[in-house]
Structure 1
């Protein structure tokens, strides 16, 4: 099983749509939905996870599990119950976000020092939603160190979490290489639930090493999939070679059409260049395009110069 990671500010529903059209992804997890002290209206959930309006799946039919973030046990449970009314196949809980502003407000990775609270959150959410809705969690190896890794994993599993994605770094490690996949092996051995390895998987070779060192069959791909949209297909053994640029370019047109239809004009060019920046890692064509277009901000000019078109293709194409 290959999961597409949540990536705040990058991997939103538009990019989920396009990347799952490529293939190889079995499930997506959404960007986090922040829960503080109130019951959110359904429109907040569907704004961040519009796939909830179409059976909880992308256009390619890949399930999307919305992710909740917060530390208020009762409020998270109430919001999970409301979210479950929108019929997602599963709900994920965020115990891994390393962002300072999130951690400062007792969300994400800072909770890794409080396994008792994590247990209470997972248990409350599990009780609040139907049995048919899976409850999973994403965690890091720890906050500032790895001393409580197994305590957290056991807290999630004992509270009813059915899957745990482990990002193989602490909050203190941030996103700096390397990822310590070998440390996930102890988590897998400590809990009776599915454990999924995540972190620094950029290539098929990295995927093989992550599986070997962690002992996990299942993987979550994030930045590696953004940089190389055919990566999941190759990791799954469904395609022997990278996705050619000529096949990727039409998908980029679909992406940019959706961006132009839904994103404020001043941010449209930035979204396209953000993806091009990642694609530079795998595609020399993206490197050349990024160098040419780096200072271009007008969306129409970007479309003309990158795709050779006057108007973007339909977002539904």
Structure 2
């Protein structure tokens, strides 16, 4: 049983991948998508979104990281896939699931699921360019407006050379609204011979169990659930108990402080406050303390002032932030 960390643009960047994989339980990460139009991108673009390429394609704690590409030009995608592999990527993933309007407007992500022939053409182009040097995988939703082409799209991916498919169990129109239709992942799994990984609406250990039972999948990809509860992967694997949230919070606060300090080092100062607040916002589903802390930070934009507040809160809880 493997747990994969999902790609989430503007959220699960390399710094949060670093922090979450330090906690443990995650077997593989997929980068935020690298958008490809009609040209070969410079290496700087790859290093910006996937800096792990310069470190053996693993996070600092040693978790493998594969590169995700998004676009609709088979040739350009193939050329950029080869560049990523030459830079050290151990695998290439293709994005057929992004629901963002700006992405779909430029014919990227989930909108491609309207046409299984185009899904096939794109995937086949990248597969030919890679020549089996590394595994080619894909992430898809159940469709755009509806689920009528779900099986056909999955079969197109397999026929074109994808070795594995992650299925987010909702359509583009359904967005992230519950429920996730895990039963459709089971139908897809039965229609192809390559491995299928389930994705969508896994927030707890029980969700993970039910997702595997309904979908029939051995492996699961989790995004928001791991952001809301950094210990979820360890809990799923039985490597950590289900402690009360108030007993977990001091550890979580230490992670937030460490994340904030890393973000201060890695991105422009004016963006730091937004990243830290974003994570706290997403954790409030699981930790009431995160919502209280977010309220204290809501109007603060100075990164150093936020660090001081986090340190004071750590001191109050008896945490040594510099351990």
**Fold shared by both chains (TM-score > 0.5):** yes
Give 3-state SS (helix, strand or coil) of 2:52's partner.
helix
**Which range moved further: 237-246 or 55-64?**
237-246
The one-character-per-residue Cα deviations of 1:79-131 (angstroms, maximum 9, x if unpaired) are 11111101211010000001111011010000001111111211221121252
Rounded Cα–Cα distance in structure 2 between residues aligned with 1:204 and 1:60: 23
Rounded Cα–Cα distance in structure 2 between residues aligned with 1:85 and 1:56: 12
Q: Which residue of 1 aligns with 2:154?
A: 153
- Does the Cα contact within 8 Å between 2:74 and 2:124 map onto a contact in 1? no
Q: CA deviation at 1:282?
A: 1.2
- Does the Cα contact within 8 Å between 1:91 and 1:135 map onto a contact in 2? yes
Q: Which residue of 2 aligns with 1:212?
A: 213
Q: Which runs of 5+ in 2 are unaligned?
A: 316-320
**Which range moved further: 298-307 or 94-103?**
298-307
Matched, 1:282 2:286: yes
1:169-248 matched pairs, under 5 angstroms: 169-242=170-243, 244-248=248-252
Say what the alpha-carbon RMSD is for the aligned residues.
Answer: 1.7
Q: CA deviation at 1:287?
A: 2.0
- Does the Cα contact within 8 Å between 2:18 and 2:60 map onto a contact in 1? yes
Q: CA deviation at 1:249?
A: 2.3
Rounded Cα–Cα distance in structure 2 between residues aligned with 1:262 and 1:21: 18
Give the number of equivalent residue pairs: 314
Rounded Cα–Cα distance in structure 2 between residues aligned with 1:99 and 1:49: 21
Rounded Cα–Cα distance in structure 2 between residues aligned with 1:162 and 1:240: 35
- TM norm structure 1: 0.95
Matched, 1:28 2:32: no
The one-character-per-residue Cα deviations of 1:196-225 (angstroms, maximum 9, x if unpaired) are 000111111111111111111110000110
Q: Which residue of 2 aligns with 1:58?
A: 59
Matched, 1:296 2:297: no
Matched, 1:137 2:138: yes
- Does the Cα contact within 8 Å between 1:84 and 1:130 map onto a contact in 2? no
- Does the Cα contact within 8 Å between 1:112 and 1:148 map onto a contact in 2? yes
Rounded Cα–Cα distance in structure 2 between residues aligned with 1:172 and 1:282: 26
Q: Which runs of 5+ in 1 are unaligned?
A: none
Q: Which residue of 1 aligns with 2:267?
A: 263
Give 3-state SS (helix, strand or coil) of 1:170's partner.
coil
**Which range moved further: 14-23 or 253-262?**
253-262
Q: Which residue of 1 aligns with 2:318?
A: none
Matched, 1:11 2:12: yes
Give 3-state SS (helix, strand or coil) of 1:45's partner.
helix
Rounded Cα–Cα distance in structure 1 between residues aligned with 2:311 and 2:7: 28
Rounded Cα–Cα distance in structure 1 between residues aligned with 2:271 and 2:232: 27
